[in-house]
Amino acid sequence: MTTISPESCVTPPHGTERPVPRWADITAHAIPLLLLPQCLWRLPFAFDFRMGLIDPNAPEWVWWAVPYVFGLSIVSEALALLSFGLVRGWGETVPRWLPGIGGKRIPPFAAVVPAALGGLGATAFWAPTLLHWLNVPGFEGLGFSSIWWEVLAKVCITPGMLWGPLVLALTFAYYVRRCRPST
């Protein structure tokens, strides 16, 4: 079993029972920032600007594309912000201001199970795109009108592909911190 040195941890000013490893705190801060380029890259699609994407089956622009694309970006960032619950006290104890349940301890698996499923889901969602970009046979995708549009898409989308694996790493750190006996 590995031990956590005090220098590699964030002291618990965030209300956690045990110290949070510094790498986990940094990772939780990085996740929303890694998704931001992808969310911004997606916004022109709301106004039928296809960013060089060639899709012969693309539907004509519809009015609900604007709220859909903006909503998708907002929901993505909101879900990314939930990773802070794996390194903050509100992921261990319900905030006191919530009526009826405020101040109650959150069972570890009430956070571990949804976080693990979310991390696995995000990883599985992006796997086909990554395999297409790596030219794995059987994983064909859409093309771009020029190499520059493709480079822009890859630069903006690739950091977001780390979302799932990083959430899984944070989930494991949360599990270790909450479920394993302290040494």
User: Concatenated DSSP letters for the chain?
Assistant: -----GGGEE-STT--SSPEEHHHHHHHHHHHHHHHHHHHHHGGGGGT--TTEE-TTPPPP-TTHHHHHHHHHHHHHHHHHGGGGGTSGGGTB--TTSTTTTTPBPPHHHHHHHHHHHHHHHHHHHHHHHHHHTT-TT----EESSHHHHHHHHHHHGGGGGHHHHHHHHHHHHHHHHHSPP-
Question: Residue 9: what pLDDT?
Answer: 56
Question: Residue 107: what pLDDT?
Answer: 94
Q: Which residues in the chain land under pLDDT 70?
A: 1-14, 183
Question: Residue 4: what pLDDT?
Answer: 55
